[in-house]
Structure 1
Amino acid sequence: MMAAAWRALVREAWERSVVFTQFICFLNVFSNHVAEVHQCLGPSMLPTFNVSGDILLLEHVSSKFEKVRPGDVVMARSPVNPNLVVCKRVLGLEGDCVTVLPTSSRGHVKQVVVPKGHVWLQGDNAYNSTDSRHYGPVPYALIQGKVFYRIWPPEGWGPVLNQQP
């Protein structure tokens, strides 16, 4: 009788661990290939996002199918520090001629043609952003996904719209 109770308890624990493992696998696949929650910190995207960090929903489908357009806000691996994910606006795709604002008030405006397989990323706060003006065009493969919704802070809740530069 005692052995049967232990067997039932072990079977129940096994079944629950299988369900838990399946759920974790689902979450992993979903966050890597469909959508995930991400935080954007720092002044580079002012006034679109707050310095203290907005919580954003990021979808991966657009970047996987190369449906990112100029004006979209994306999260991308930094080309100079792969441990860092940056939040920037796409100003140009491959073949586009981009007007590049200077990094300081004493700089000059110039034109850059984005090379094949790359995008030009720039923060909305042009004078306080480390972006493609510093590290050049970013390989498309470094784009993690497109920001489509802000979920925090509550007063900023809503879709993140494409704003053509």
Structure 2
Amino acid sequence: MQRLVSKFVDAAIVFVQYGCLAHCTLEYVADLVVCSGPSMEPTLYSNNVLLAEHISPQFDKISRGDIIIAKCPSNPNQYICKRVVGLPGDKIRTGFTSRNVPRGHVWLEGDNKSNSSDSRTYGPVPKGLIRSRAIFKIWPLTDATYLKD
């Protein structure tokens, strides 16, 4: 009986260790993201699966043209997938007006400009809302590609 309990405890320890490793990897290194909605068409379609890394936003290495995953400024329970169009200090022209992107913010737009709720709607987005940067489209496999402008 003691041997059975010992094996159970050993298995539980291994399970907890792998769980901690998986949690740290998904929270701080990279994870998989499923896209929904038409705002990034034709680059990304609904149900595309992306590999997104969390390191670039932590070290402020977001560049113009990157596709990022961020908390929605108008609905914090939702995440958005948009392209970075403007960085701090950039002047963005929207229609007949132009706006400056303030320090600590980015300007995000969907690739499908006619069907996207983005910075043109809610303005510059604080960098603190950025969760990750998409690096690969991995599903569907026939469309697997590196995501760089």
Percent of residue pairs identical: 42
1:112 paired residue among 99, 104, 115 = 99
* Rounded Cα–Cα distance in structure 2 between residues aligned with 1:99 and 1:58: 29
Q: Does 2:39 align with 1:44?
A: yes
Q: Does 2:19 align with 1:32?
A: no
Question: Which structure 2 segments of 5+ residues have no match?
Answer: none
TM-score, normalising length: structure 2: 0.97
The alignment of Structure 1 onto Structure 2 pairs a total of residues equal to: 149
Q: Does 2:79 align with 1:92?
A: no
2:6 paired residue among 8, 11, 16 = 11
* Rounded Cα–Cα distance in structure 2 between residues aligned with 1:31 and 1:153: 21
CA RMSD of aligned residues (A): 0.9
* Rounded Cα–Cα distance in structure 2 between residues aligned with 1:98 and 1:155: 35
Alignment of 1:1-165 (within 5 A): 6-50=1-45, 52-100=46-94, 108-161=95-148, 163=149
Deviation at 1:109, TM superposition (A): 4.1
**Following superposition, which runs of at least 4 residues in structure 1 exceed 6 angstroms of deviation?**
none
Q: Which amino acid aligns with 2:88?
A: E
* Rounded Cα–Cα distance in structure 2 between residues aligned with 1:32 and 1:98: 32
